[in-house]
Amino acid sequence: MKILLLGSGGREHALALKLKAPAVDLVSAPGSDALAELGTCVPLNLEDPAAVAAWCARNRPDLVVAGPEVPLVAGVADAVRALGIPVFGHDAATARLEGSKSFAKAFMMRHAIPCAAGHTVTDLAAGEALIRSWSHGFPIVLKADGLAAGKGVVLATTEAEALATFRAFMAGQFGDASRTVVFEAPLVGMELSLHVLVDVDGEHASYALLPACQDHKRIFEGDQGPNTGGMGAFGPLPFLRPQDIECMRTVLVEPTVKGLRSDGLVGRGVLFLGVMWTARGPELLEYNVRFGDPETQVLMQLLDEDLAALLLEVAQGRLVSRELKLKPHTAIAVVLAAEDYPEGARKGVPITLGSPAVTVIHAGTRKENGQWLTNGGRVLNLATSAPDLAAARAAIEAALPQVTWPGRQVRRDIGLKALGHALAGRTVQDPW
């Protein structure tokens, strides 16, 4: 089976490691030096649907798997599917759930999916007036409507900060993506990532839940410092009970699947729901139309299925709603980041890569004369699974000295707060 995998980061390397099998011919675009060790790489521009489709027309892959959201929002899946080639990845119309915060908010409201109260603003004076009369409490959450490389959400703790952020957005801080702004009431609680494979088309509507994970977005331990793309994740959450999963299925997942159907949207991939478990129960922060990074690195440790076959089922509209086969383990992925991340990233630093007893996933590396070098903010992930979270954390601790370089940044507390919560006998209803 020839598979074209779109992307180049840690998420894609984790997918590639799972897809790789003797019968799989893996091509990554644009790929990376690490992905090149699992197959071949082609330098395609993922923002150009015609270019990706032209390559597919010539090379006829059996399956295209989209990693990031940008190609989906740009319409790559539409263009490739039009050739009759199965794509794991949503149409541009469905990708608006991630590509436009106002579209997503309207979808949530229309389908009675619990979420923060929100207002969409396209006018400077109207937004300033909204901030001055804000009645939902602080922080005021401001979201650039369009894709802003993960930097388009600001939690403003004062009126002055909200005004300054809003004016910068409207002045085009993220181009047209920030000239429409969604204001939201703050949600307080515990954040988690829920991934759902969705295969929805007309009368056919199937889905399969993946285990709930938790990401750690701040750069420093104890959730301090600036936001990053994610410094580590683990899953499943040890204190989430079966009834909690059922609750999310009932109030978030099923209305989403029904909503896609009733809006005439096609689902052919994964939806990653950003969830805040509040005192009122689970509420939806956002939709992503792709796998999370580093959540994917966790999920691939747990999934006990043939990934290529599973993604092809979704891509061909043959998914049967079911419980996925999973290892009865807890998995963890810890990010090793470059010096200066997230403000910048010191590149070209030689990496010492011993032989750790965990999975090494490449996110931002390149290879020169046989030596791996740092080449991005998030450089490597160490991932593993074990019978419980404490054992999984210990396995990563044991591996950390083996994989290092000057300036390496790593959070040693991935999963620690959740472990404490579980050991204290608390549930998701208790304060986080």
Q: Which residues bind ligand GLY (CB under 6 A)?
A: 215, 230, 288, 292-293, 295
Nearest distance, CB of residue 210 and ligand AMP, angstroms? 18
**The sheet that has 153-156: what strands, in order across it?**
118-121, 181-184, 140-144, 153-156
Query: Counting contacts by CB under 6 A, is residue 212 touching ligand AMP?
Result: no
Instruction: Give the span between the Cα atoms of 61 and 85, in whole angstroms.
Output: 7
- C-alpha 42/C-alpha 45 separation (Å) is 9
If one counts every other C-beta atom within 10 angstroms of the C-beta of residue 353, the result is 16
Based on the shown chain and the rule CB under 6 A, indicate whether residue 161 belongs to the binding site for ligand AMP. no
Residues that bind ligand AMP (rule: CB under 6 A) add up to a total of 12
CB atoms < 10 A from the CB of 36, how many? 12
Phi, psi of 427 (to 5 degrees): -115, -175
- Alpha-carbon gap, residue 154 to 125, rounded angstroms: 19
Do 92 and 72 contact (CB within 8 A), yes or no?
yes
Q: Which residue is nearest to ligand AMP (CB)?
A: 286
- Select from 170-178, 184-192, 389-397, 409-417 the region that touches ligand AMP (CB under 6 A): 184-192
Residues in the chain: 432
CA nearest to 238, candidates 432, 423, 21, 30: 423
Q: Which is nearer to ligand GLY, 184 or 215 (CB)?
A: 215
| Position 281 contacts ligand AMP (CB under 6 A) | no
Window 12-41: contact mask with ligand AMP (x via CB under 6 A): ------------------------------
Q: HSE on the CB side for 165, CA within 13 Å?
A: 22
> Which of ligand GLY, ligand AMP, none has residue 141 at its interface (CB below 5 to 8 Å by kind)?
ligand AMP
For residue 108, the minimal CB distance to ligand AMP (Å) is 11
Give every CB contact of residue 123 below 8 A, 6+ residues apart in sequence: none
Smaller CB separation from ligand GLY, 24 or 148: 148
Give which of ligand AMP, ligand GLY, none residue 292 binds (C-beta under 5 to 8 Å, depending on kind).
Answer: ligand GLY
**Which of ligand AMP, ligand GLY, none interacts with 295 (beta carbon under 5 to 8 A by kind)?**
ligand GLY
Identify the residue among 141, 270, 335, 360 touching ligand AMP (CB under 6 A). 141
> What residue ranges bind ligand AMP (CB under 6 A)?
116, 141, 143, 153, 155, 184, 186-187, 191, 274, 285-286
